[in-house]
Each structure stands twice: as C-alpha cells, then as structure tokens.
Amino acid sequence: MDTVIVYESMWGNTAAIAESIAGGYGDGAVAMTTDEATPAVIEKARLVIAGAPVHALNLPTDATRASAQAKDSPGHVPADLTHPSLRAWLEALPAGPRWYAAFETRIVGPLGHGSADAIARAFSAARYEALDRPHSFTVTMRQHTQAPAAMLLPGQEQHAFEWGIHLRHLVTHTPELE
C-alpha cells in the first residue's frame, strides 16, 4: 500500500470519512487506526492522510477524550478510546519527505476548525509536503450517538469519496519528493 489514511474517532464518524476517502482513492489506500499505522507502515507510504475530530477548537487531548467518555449514557454508543489519540500519534511521526493531506470532522459554525490545521502543522514540521488544502467534514451538534457514524450530515461520505478520487488524481501527477 502506498497511501495510508490514519484516523482518530470516538463514535465512528471520522472513521467513516476515512473509509470513504479510501474507497474513492481505490487500490493502494488503506484506512487504519493510530495503532495500526505504525512508524514502519508510514515509512513505506508515499502519501499519508490523517484526520481527527475537532475537540475544543483543536485536536482531542486526554482531557477532551475523557470528557467525551463522560458523556456516555445508556442506549448510546460508548466513546471509543481504545486507540492512541492522533495528537500522540503525530508526536511519533517518522520524518519525511512524504506527501500529506489533513482532514477533520466538526460541527457547522464558529466552533468548527482547529484539528486539520494542527495536523497540517505537525506534518509540515516533520518535512511532509501538502498535496491539497485541509478538508472539513461536518456532523450534527450531538456529542454522542445511537449508532456508529450517525452524526455525519447528509452528503459527507460522498464528499469524502470524491476527495479520495481527487487525491488519487493529484498524487498520480506529482513528482517523487527528494
């Protein structure tokens, strides 16, 4: 595989976007959790796409992840905290050069934004080059849900699939990085 799509996801929404990007990209792209995307896997990749939810205008922290878990209630999907945060994963990112793309899931409105830009900054600090601008995918304001990935607004998975097609097109027409 030459393209890794790594994600953090409490209730499956960011995971579903990652899977849709992989579907659009086609052969050679695999969506994986932060513990599956080991440094050895990343070192073999040409393009790394990373996504996380926006928590408090930024990447989730241990505190916001704990707060997501505290919102668990009977009849709702529990927050999945079994994988390391993307914030921790980025701290162990093998140095580039490699191509990257960043995305986030967030609610619509002034509280949106923060994670994709933070991901972009971490990649850039590790000598990765942006293949495309950061992308946002939107969810409803609910902070927990009765089914995995049920917070995504209509059309978001299709938008992610189309972005996957676009990234495939871009990477096919870019030079190798030195």
Ligand X SMILES: Cc1cc2nc3c(=O)[nH]c(=O)nc-3n(C[C@H](O)[C@H](O)[C@H](O)COP(=O)(O)O)c2cc1C
Which residues bind to ligand X, rule: CB under 6 A?
Answer: 9-14, 53-57, 64, 67-68, 105-107, 111-112, 139, 143, 151
Report in angstroms the alpha-carbon separations of 21 from 49, 64, 140, 178. 9, 26, 20, 26
Cα(44)–Cα(65) distance, rounded to whole angstroms?
A: 30
In the bound complex, what is the minimum distance in angstroms from residue 135's beta carbon to ligand X? Answer: 13
Toward ligand X, which CB reaches closer, 13 or 34? 13
Check: CB of residue 115 under 8 Å from CB of residue 53: yes
Number of helices (H) and strands (E) in the chain: give both, helices first. 6, 6
Phi and psi at residue 99, in whole multiples of 5°? -80, 150
CB of 134 to ligand X, least distance (A): 14
Shortest distance (Å) from residue 139 CB to ligand X: 5
Q: Min. distance of Cβ 30 from ligand X in angstroms? A: 18
Q: C-beta of 110: minimal distance to ligand X in Å?
A: 9
What is the Cα 169 distance to its own chain's centre?
Answer: 20
- Would you give the DSSP letter of residue 41? H
* Cβ pair 91, 100 in contact under 8 A: no
Whichever of 51 and 164 has its CB closer to ligand X, that residue is 51
Q: Residue 23 corresponds to which amino acid?
A: G
Q: Which is nearer to ligand X, 53 or 164 (CB)?
A: 53
Residue at token pair 């992610």: 160
Of 30 and 139, nearer to ligand X (C-beta) is 139
Q: In this complex, which beta carbon is closest to ligand X, that of residue 46 or of residue 144?
A: 144
